[in-house]
Structure 1
Amino acid sequence: MSVIDQVGTEPAAPAPPGRPAAKRGHPFGRYVLRRLGSGVLVIVLVAVTVFVVTRVASDPARTLAGPEATQEQYEAVRASLGLDQPLLTQFVDYVRDLAALDFGISYWQNVPVSGLIATFLPNTVLLVVVAILFAVLAGIPLGIAAALRPGSNADQATAAFALLGLSLPQFWLGAMLILLFAVTLGWLPTSGQGGIEHIILPAITLGLPSMGRIAQITRTTMIDELASQHILVARAKGLGGGYVVFRHALRNVMVPVTTIISFETVYALAGYSVIVETVFAWPGVGALAIQAIQRQDLTLVQGIVFVIAVVVVLWNLLTDLVYRAIDPRIELR
C-alpha cells in the first residue's frame, strides 16, 4: 500500500474532455466537514473509554480518605466527589461538563483542571515543536546526503546514526546526556525549565529517534525518485545536480516525508513526551498525567486525555491539508 493510500489521499484523475478542471473531486468544504465529523467520533470514543477505565481501575475516594479513614469518612469522601451516584448519572454529568469544556476540579490540587492544562500544555507543545524541528533539520539533509551516494561511507554512517537513534531507549539516552553535558562538562542544566539552555537536552532526547526515522524515509524515497524518468530527463537537459535534487526530486518525496513527520509529532505529543518530561522534570502535561495517575486524580486524567485527543485530531486534519499544498495533484477525499 502506498503512502498516499495510507493517509487517505489519491492522485487526481484527469478531467473528462470538455469539462472544466476546476470541478474535479469533492468540494473542499465537504471534505473538511467529513473529517471533522470523524474526528468528533474519535474524541467521543476516547472520552467514553477514559471514563470507563478510570472508574473501573481506581478508587480515588480511598486514596483521598487515607488508609486510616473509617467507613463513614470514606463514604463522605465518595459523596463529595459524586462517586456515590449511579454510573449512568456520573457519565451524563461527565458528558455535559465536557460539552461545556468544564473538566471539573482536580482531586489532587483542588483547582480547575482547565487551568492546570492551560498552564502545562504550552510547555509540552514547545518541547515537541523544538524536538521535531531538530529531527527535520537534521534528518532530511542526512537522508538526502545518503541517497546521493548509495553504499558510500556517508550512506553507511547515516544508516548507523539513524539506527542508533532508533535503538536507544529515551530514558537511558536522557540520563546519559545529563551525565555527560550537565554533570561531567557542566555545560547545560540537568532539569527544569528556564532559558533556552534548559530545552536543549530534552529536545535532543525526544527528537533523536524521530530524526532517525525521517532520515531513513528521506533516503529511501529520494533514491527511488532520483531513478525516475522525469529526473533522468531533467539531467539529460543539462540541469544542475542541486537544482534537480531540490527543485524536482525533493518536492515529490515531501509527501511521504510529511507523513512520517506528522506521525512522529503525534507520537511525541501523546506518548514519548511523558518519558522525556519525567527524566528532565520538564513541567508538561506528560509529567502532569503521570502524577495524576499516581494520585488517582480521575478528573485531571480525563481532562488531559480529552485535550490531547482534540489536538491530535486537528493535527491530522492539518496534515492532510499540507499534502494538498505540497502537491496540488493530490485530491483530498
Structure 2
Amino acid sequence: GGCCGTTPAEIAAIDEALAGERKPRARLEFAERELLVSLGEELLETGLARALREREWVVTIQLDPPLGGSSKGLVELAHAIGESGKAGYVDINDNATARAGMSSLIVSATIERQAGIETIPHLTTRDASVMGLESMLLGAHSEGVRNILAITGDPPEVGDYPGAQGVYEIDSVGLTELMTRLNRGEDFNGRPIDAPTSFFPGVAVNPTPDDLELELERFHAKVEAGARFAITQIVFDLDYFDRLTERLGGSWPIPVLVEIFPLTSYRLALRLHNEVPGIVVPEALQLELQNAGANAAEVGCSRARELIEGARERAAGVCLVAPFRQPLRVLELLE
C-alpha cells in the first residue's frame, strides 16, 4: 500500500522487491556463549561479610539520601562517621516511606569512593522491574558496591506520589534470589551473564509483626533464597527479639543486626506506635516518656543504650537510626 502521491508504479516496484529472493549478506550462526571468569578482586569478601564471619561486633548508622541533586553533605556525614571510629558502616535508605530521593546505589558508590567507608544500600522492588533491578545491581557491582539489603518497600500511597503505581514485579525474596543467581553467573531467568558477581545480600526481618507466622515464613524463604545477613525493624523491647529467636529454634540461621532508634519525645513515640506499620513502642516506655516531659530525649537515649548493650548478648551488631536526619547524634550512644 501507499500514502498520498503513490502510483501503481511504486506499488508494483515494492511488490517485485518483496517477492524476489533475498539472501542475508552474512550467514547467521548460533553458538554457545562462553561464561567469562570475573577478576580476582571482584570476588573479594566485603568488610561486612568478613566481620560477620569472624564474629566482630558490627555497628552501622542509617543515612537518608538527599532529596536534591547534591550528595556533598551526605558524603561529609559519612566521612565524619568513619573518622569517629565508632561505626564501621553506613546503610543507605532507598526512597524510604515512598519519598523520592537520590538513588541509594549511586550515592553508596559515591560515599565508598569519596568517604572511604563501606556501605549497605537498601534496594526496594517497588520502583523497578526485574530487568531494571538487574541493570542497577550490575552497575553498582562494577562500582564496588556489594552489600545490598533487599526490601519490598512501602506502598506508594503513603508517600509523595499517592497516585503512583508500585512495580512489585518481584518482592524482597525475589530480589535476594536475583542476587544469588547473579553470583552464580546467571540472570533471573537462568541465562548466563558475562561475569558472575559477588554480592553479599541481606534482608529485613520484623520481631514485632502483625502476623508472626507470616513473618517467619517469609524470613525462611529469604534465607532459602540466599540471604547472608539480616537487619531487624526498629526494636524498643528485646523481649520481642527473644520471642522470634525462640521461634527460630533458639538461634538465627544468619547473622542479624538489631535496629535501634533513640526516641526524643512522647509525641514521637505515639506517632511511631500508631502510624508506622510493624513498630511497637511498649506502653511502659510511652508512659515513661510522657512523665519525663522536656527530659524525654534523655529517657529515649538511656533506653537506646540499654538496647545496644542487650543486643551484644543476642545479635551480631546494631543498626542505629537517628531521629530527624541527624545521624551524628547517635554516635553519642556509643560512648
Using CA pairs under 8 Å that are at least 6 residues apart, name the structure with larger relative contact order, 1 or 2. Answer: 1
TM range (shorter): under 0.3
Question: TM-score, normalized by length of structure 1?
Answer: 0.25
Which of the pair is proportionally richer in strand? 2
